[in-house]
Structure 1
């Protein structure tokens, strides 16, 4: 064993958990994220945009799954351009992809514990951290059930549990509410609000109402670029009865996209 210095045990804070400048990311040969500038602090941030807007590609880049093709990306104060920096970021990162893999015969406890091991969590605290993550997503009674026996909504909650098991300082959730019933979505929103007090949470979703209910601000992207950023309240004020949507927030979202597309064709 080696001695741990005071520098290593001191909590480090950064003005921006995510800081991207002119970020470019490819999805195959396509430049799905093209010149994106974004700076996000602690809080819950909703990522909105139509299909093909580059949301999932952006999330994969922020999760260090794919490397940027251009621009600059800094996560938790670390520039994402070297192996040592990536390892430091990944220890403090939680990520739920849109589609995640798992071993069907693993129990929920084993699955979350395995991801805790991959994140290099100290062994002594893993069991308690796993149980806490499972409890927070409402799967206590299913902790020892095999993953293959879970419903779609339960699988999604198990995915959220593995994303939060290490108490990440940066949490990335891609379509986290898919498969959740209305009651579970309400519980999830409450969890997001709790997490956002000391974590930078970025939630990518098509459900505008989830963003309005749980997020401190909204990031709207289209064609790989930042279209608009503001609070849910300001988003709701952007539209009127002439725009598509069942709620003020949805109409505001439609209005901003329409305006962006009109400006792009000029």
Structure 2
């Protein structure tokens, strides 16, 4: 593994941590993100939308897993093309996809250590960073347990641990609360608020109550297009008593989608 120069790990400031202009991204042959303009800075940002809205495809593009087909995308001050830029960006990213792979015989500690190695973290920093990540997701007692024996919720927490082990400047979490029980979700909300203090966190979720509790603002997509961008208070304000939903935030969410579809002629 090559040595990482100090200049490569020095703190850098950017006008925006994520900036997209007219972004188009395909999922297979389908245009899943269509002409998106978006700018994200420090804080916890919720990514909402119905199934098929383009949330996962957008996450994959931000994680440099797929390339845009049109428009521009800048992540951590670098355009997402070219090998040199991608290596630097990926070292500063944390990404939890909906489904993530792992070696079943790895322990939790070995799994997180392996992901730290892939992110080219300095070897001397890895043990402490791994322990801290495991502690933060509440898996301290399971650190030396094999991944294949973990419950679904514990696996999800191990996935979050690998995503935060490098203290990423940009953290992308796709449906991170799947499999977590109510108590674990409360702990996760607190972790999100902490992570959003110094970095940019984008969380894709269907659980609107988690958004209101932990996120600073909301990005709502439908069929790959931006429907709404604003604070959680602005989301709530869009709803009325006649709109579908069990909470003010859910009613705001459904009202925005209904209006957007009506304007689009759907």
TM-score for the superposition, normalised by structure 2:
0.97
CA distance in 1, matches of 2:117, 2:139: 20
Q: 1:89 to 1:142 in 2, by over 3 A?
A: same
C-alpha separation between the residues in 1 aligned to 2:3 and 2:254? 56
Tell me, which stretches of 5 or more residues in structure 1 are unaligned? none
Name 2:117's counterpart in structure 1.
117
> What are the equivalent positions in structure 2 for 1:101-250 lying under 5 Å apart?
101-250=101-250
Q: Secondary structure at the match of 2:187?
A: helix
Q: How does 1:14-163 map to 2 (within 5 A)?
A: 14-163=14-163
**Aligned 8 A contact 2:44 2:201 in 1:** yes
Task: State the 4+ residue runs in structure 1 displaced beyond 3 angstroms.
Answer: 1-5, 7-10
TM-fit CA distance, 1:4: 4.9
Following superposition, the deviation at residue 240 of structure 1 comes to: 1.0
User: Residue 176 of structure 1: SS of its match in structure 2?
Assistant: coil
| Alpha-carbon distance in 2 for matches of 1:228, 1:154 | 33
User: Distance between the aligned counterparts of 1:188 and 1:252, measured in 2?
Assistant: 24
Q: Distance in 2 between matches of 1:3 and 1:244?
A: 52
Structure 1 length as normaliser, TM-score?
A: 0.97
- Write out per-residue CA displacement over residues 106-165 of structure 1, whole angstroms, 9 at most, x where no aligned residue: 000000000000000000010110000000000000000000110000000000000000
Secondary structure of 2:98's counterpart equals coil
Distance in 2 (alpha carbons) for counterparts of 1:73 and 1:8: 21
Kindly tell me the number of residue pairs found equivalent between the two proteins: 265
RMSD of aligned residue pairs (Cα, Å): 1.4
Give the Cα separation in 2 of the matches to 1:3 and 1:85: 14
